[in-house]
Structure 1
Amino acid sequence: MKSAVALLEDEGEQGFSIRKVGSRVGCDPMAVLYHFKSKAGLEQAMADALNAELTPVDATAPWRARLSALASQYRALALRYPRTFPLLLRFWVTGPADYRHAEMIYQALSDAGFEDRQTVDICFGFYASILGLAAAEVGGMLQPATAENLAEARSLPAADFPMTRRLLPAFEAQRPAEIYALMVETVLNGIEQLRDAPTDSRVGG
């Protein structure tokens, strides 16, 4: 599995194939295909291998601390494997390692006071939020604006784009780690606010 991940990190998705994986590990590509059933099966196993690198969160910590700790680990994982990490967004569950982390989230949300339906909805929304944030960072979206980005924004008519022009210094000063932490806190605040809302006003309640 490490060889497949290394290949994807070295060559990117366009250069990744069952044939190249077989060549790298020294076996017939058909043997790889037989074992994983398909390229998607291999990619799912690779995603779960990344999930297996995460450290189990302290089950005795407060529920918010558990979710925050896991979110921090996912960002670190994305930075280690920027080309493989997006695979985590492709599957409902990647495998055994993913189930273990999801179990922790289910328990944390149950401990927070949510019923089963909302526990499931919030868990998947939480995953989509933090995995999407981490993938956006390694994909380039959360990086500070480049000189070319700033020049393009400065060329916009000030009368039509006053806010964009006003925010130019802020675009240049963006820091990915700060954005990630801010949005994780925002998501957790939203979860807590939902928990504390009257039951009949809860979305999906």
Structure 2
Amino acid sequence: MKDKPAQGPRGLDKDAIVAAALALLEDVGEAAFSVRKLAQSVGCDPMSVLYHFKSKDGLSRAIANALSRSLVPVDDAQPWRERLRDLARQYRALALRHPAAFALLQRHMSTGPADLAHIEAVHRALVDAGIPRAALPSVCVGWYASVIGLAAAEAGGLTRPANDVELEEMNALSDTEHPLVRSAAPLYAQLDPEIVHDTMLDVLLDGIAKRAHAT
């Protein structure tokens, strides 16, 4: 029998509040987001929201865990590299769908039960790669920092093609002092975010394999 969603004052559904918070965060951005605005959007007072989450940080963690819950578990039958690649690409897609909320994933080592299930899968992949158990936390956190940071950078616009202003600055550089950057300007103009992501993911996975073989 399926558990009923947790309810508090006035029958508020915790999952419904999280869904409303996610929508509001994407609509107004983090700077303008507040518990008061969230309470207004669901028709209650701020204290009713805090009844479920205790604090704004608790609400932040719940929103981040909702994002983690939307990820599809990786297939353990696949090679370790493909498992990590699959999960990394899912994080990229998640960042592009929810750029404002995605930033919350950078603030919590774990966001809750849904996140811990994916962390377990990353641990299994790293063990299969040959990473020693004592090094698992460092490599796991480093993998997440790299993957989430790369996805967040794309969502924020860092890995897009260089714009006219940036290209003008590159082309104005001295051939003597900055020859490599100046000559690469046409390549920056054609930068493809997906290629950036996949290239750096290969670099990361190759690094994990090298680390495993060195132990």
TM band (smaller chain): over 0.9
Q: Please name the residue that 1:53 is paired with.
A: 70
* Among 21, 31, 35, the residue aligned to 1:4: 21
Separation of aligned partners in 2, 1:40 and 1:73? 25
How far has the Cα of 1:111 moved from its partner? Answer: 2.0
TM-score by length of 2: 0.89
Letter of the structure 1 residue corresponding to residue 87 of structure 2: L
Query: In the alignment, does 2:204 pair up with 1:179?
Result: no
Conservation of the 8 A alpha-carbon contact between 2:130 and 2:213: no
Question: How far apart are the structure 1 equivalents of 2:123 and 2:176?
Answer: 49
Instruction: From 45, 57, 72, give the equivalent of 1:28.
Output: 45
- After superposing the two structures, state which structure 1 stretch, 159-168 or 56-65, moved more: 159-168
Deviation at 1:120, TM superposition (A): 1.6
Partners of 1:135 and 1:62 in 2: CA distance: 26
Query: Is the aligned partner of 1:168 residue 2:185?
Result: yes
2:110 matched residue in structure 1: 93
Could you tell me how far 1:159 is from its partner in structure 2?
2.9
* Aligned 1:99-110 pairs, distance under 5 A: 99-110=116-127
Deviations 1:87-122 (A, max 9, x none): 000011111111000000111111222221112211
Instruction: Give the number of aligned pairs.
Output: 198
Q: Which is worse superposed, 25-34 or 85-94?
A: 25-34
> Does the residue aligned with 1:14 lie in a helix, a strand or coil?
coil
For 1:157 and 1:193, the matched residues in 2 are separated by 38
Match of 2:81 among 64, 67, 71: 64
Q: State the alpha-carbon separation in 2 of the partners of residues 154 and 189 from structure 1.
A: 34
Match in the other structure for 1:152: 169
Return the alpha-carbon distance in structure 2 between the equivalents of residues 169 and 11 of structure 1. 36
Cα distance in 1 between the residues matched to 2:48 and 2:105:
24
Q: CA deviation at 1:170?
A: 0.9
Correspondence for 1:117: 134
State the secondary structure of the residue aligned to 1:84: helix
1:134 is aligned to 151
% identity of equivalent residues: 48
Runs of 4+ in 1 over 6 A off after TM superposition: none
Query: What's the RMSD between the two structures over aligned residues?
Result: 1.1
Of 115-124 and 78-87, more deviation after overlay is shown by 115-124
Q: Output the TM-score relative to the length of structure 1.
A: 0.93
1:139-189 alpha-carbon deviations (Å, 9 max, x no partner) = 111111011111122233333222221110011011000000111111001
Instruction: State how far apart, in whole Å, the 2-side matches of 1:158 and 1:65 are.
Output: 42
Q: Is the 8 A contact 2:103 2:152 kept in 1?
A: yes
Q: Distance in 2 between matches of 1:45 and 1:83?
A: 14
Quick one: which amino acid aligns to residue 28 of structure 2? E
Letter in 2 for 1:149: E
**How far apart in 1 are the matches of 2:155 and 2:184?**
23
